[in-house]
Structure 1
Amino acid sequence: MQTNLKKSLYLGLATLSLAGVAAATTTTASAKSYAKAGSYTKLTTAATSRNVAATGTNALYTKPGTVKGAKVVASKKTMASLASSKKSASYFRAYGQKTTNRGSVYYRVVSMDGKYRGYIYGGKTAGTFAGGIESANTTTAATTPTTKTYYLKNPGKTNTLWDAPKYTQYKAAKVINSTSALASDSFTVDSAVTKTKEGSLYYHVTDNNNTKISGWIYAGALQTGENSTITSAKSITVNYVDSSTGKSVKSGVLITASDAKSGAALSSDDVTSVNNDIASSTYLPAGYSLANASNSYVTTSTTWGTSVTVPVTANADAGITIASSYALNATTGKNDALSTDGALASDGSTTVTKAQANFTADYQGVSGTVATQSGLSDALTAAKLNTIYVPVTESDGTTQSTNADGDALYTKYTLSTSSLPTSLTFGSTNLSLTYNAAGSYALTSGSSTMTAQ
């Protein structure tokens, strides 16, 4: 009985021992297994070749993700959000790497805005971006504009020059903090890109006044002409006022010269030029003349950037004088001079000479103002000059030809209204009319009836 008891005790102890060994084995197998990272290697390839974008498949860690102690810097969800972002700040720059004992490559990266920095899984091949990141072109080449010279639209601290479009390169920096001092400078464009994520267009420019100043600028910050503030500072601003009422007729007229400098006095040549311009039809308000043409409105004491007030008086009404008539030559396609001696107007009784005089007397407007093409057409029709009849002469050039009935022969001409001028002003004395031949006609004796032959 004792022997059986001893056997039972031995068996029980053996069972307990085996159970303890099994338990110990289980605990060891369930412990987390960590990878070990190799030494840190700095990436030395061209910086621009190490621009990468997150793919959104892996998180960003303080250490290679499978190494003990690695903490999450940006979750997989955050990295996915950066992957789909439309902002260049979400790109990364890779600058170092570590490879674990399991063959996984982790890259040390930093976001372009510096907000995120850490290690991300990059595949199994050192020097190749895969896994959680991929190579990225932060800009895309664009067409360089045909217009090469531009000016700053709004000089200042906004939209200044950069050594690379902002956030398209790590630590992209401003070339100059403010462009205020460059307000009057012109710039030459030599290349163009768009920011790949945003699609915004940037030009690389060089200051024509100081070629040491060059960089990238948002295309929308440029314009083809000087901004109005700078232009007025290098001009004389002319304000025309009605001499009888004192009311403004035309204001803000800018007159400048190639050598104009803000605040500088006008040269004697500039004085002559500006005074002539003030009096010219190019700048004078339409329908007005200088109240005193002998006045000198600027002198050598006048400085660029100042303004002058110029009194003007309204012009009287005036007509338009017809100076010549032409007929389209169907063979040559050119206009030949058309003599209207003895010609009749469209009614068959009024002479063209009389009809032209009527046109000048009846169709009038303020001298110097523009007569519209449609207005001219209507007035010429009212004066019976939309159609004219020119005598047909014999070989002697004097005797008028007749038909078998003895009726005088004429060539009918119709006015080409599309050839009428569009900018002729009232008071002009050089209106030319163009006609097209429209067949042979005879004037029935004793009447004003024209009959086609």
Structure 2
Amino acid sequence: MKTNLKNILLIGFATLGLAAVSGVINGQSASAKTYAKVTSNNVMSTSAPTRNVNVTGTNAIYTKAGTLKGARLVATKTTLNILKNSQQGQKNWRAYRVATTNRGSVYYKIVSFDKSYRGWIYGGKVSNQFNAGVKAYTTTNAINDSQADNKTAYQLKSNAASGSNTTFYSQPAWSQYKIGRARENGDGPIITDASKYNNVTFTLSQAVKTTREGETWYQISNPTNHDLNGAWIKKSDVTVLPIPEEVVRIRIKSTEGQLLGVLTLPKQDSESTGSQTIANEYGQVITDSHTVNTAGLSAAYQKLLNDANISGNYGISGLSDQQILANSLALRMADYGQTAEITVAPNPQPELVLFTNTSQTLLAGPVQNGETAGDMISAVYTGNQVVEYNTILNDIVNGLRGEAGTTLSADQLSNVLQQANASEFYYVENTSTGKILSSGDLNNNGTINEALFNVPLIVYRAELTKSQIANTTGDGSNGNGYNPGAYAGTVNQTPAPAIQGKFGENNFLMLYYAGTPSKSFTINGTDGADKMNVKQLYEQFK
């Protein structure tokens, strides 16, 4: 029986034949999983706010497009369905890459503002349109708010703690990705101590409400405080500037309607009206004048502006007689517990004139074997590039501007040299000729042209510091050449320290640089020096 059964089994398989076996194999191949392939993957270039999105919960987030081999789950649809309704701005999202697959699917790489989630999510079939798992999202919405009238004076509701800043922001908190606390001067270091603004007054120029939290934020207007002007603050952090009964307040605005500052004057025992308090502090001229040119009026206003800590160049010279009269009337009617409003104007800016011109300006550095002890510099290596002498010359000349008759300072000249990349640079001397190499002798990356291989060279590190400028003496000559410094004078005049020169006097300017030379060397094309720029050669052979 066992033998017969075995024969039957063998016969059964034989009867199935090759076709059956082939079918089994083909069936296994047909069930193998296939994956999509990425056909493009690009950084999104549209403006950042237009790429703020929200998740819809219909699609999950993966480490790569979900149909790609090896994609791992980052956040499930269930999780995203919860996050889409979050009332925290930290759960806003920013899209920053877009990819398409060979199946025509579009995926976006997104990140939550708090960076707790990052990955790829299905976004439909049309590139640069947010569909399916993501949708366009506005993190704030403009609202009408009577407090944002750019007129009423406000201050912090309570004093900010020293050494912290949870008050002032460059944008409402968590409304834009990677944009947080306000910065000094708008683009400087982050403000980390809000307490120094406890007594600053400001107006509110516009209002928005955050979409998730539903909080109202105001943009600050204070043109005399560049740290806070344009910054954002939460509604709960501001309060109207109170007016005590025993003080008179003066609100000072610009001719453009911007609040510049608020001045509070306390009542003295001998005084009975606010106008009397103002007149006693700044003189009767400030409450009685009808014209701009009234004697003593400008000085009175300047004292008032200084007392109000209004920085910037404001005064009354730009006002009309009608505006002066309106100010005088407002101050004359001022009383305790009330606010008087006056207007001031930016003072006209003086015309700035050049200190010198390019045909009368010289930059010179030492050479070892030159015929003269101050061979004119032709081209230099500075700011990681080769720069023509005339380019630096033009930048220096155009940067040296001042009010006619004023004296050039060491600070101003030093700052101009730094802005022109001319306070420190490198140049090369061909010691066989004593001439400084021109831009034609140098490659664009600062390396030496092959035509000068095997020629003896010296690299100089040249500098002209503020200290050297400030301490310049004499006419620059020392018998063997010159003393480093800045020298100037008018035509046919003996050179003198440049910081004695005045703007608008048709000066010549000679900038004599201190040059520290390297050792003499040659480049043979095989020692690696041919790949070094001028600065690197100096460091190698100094």
- What TM-score comes out, normalization by structure 1 length? 0.48
Q: Identify the structure with the greater helix proportion.
A: 2
Larger radius of gyration: 1
- What TM-score comes out, normalization by structure 2 length? 0.41
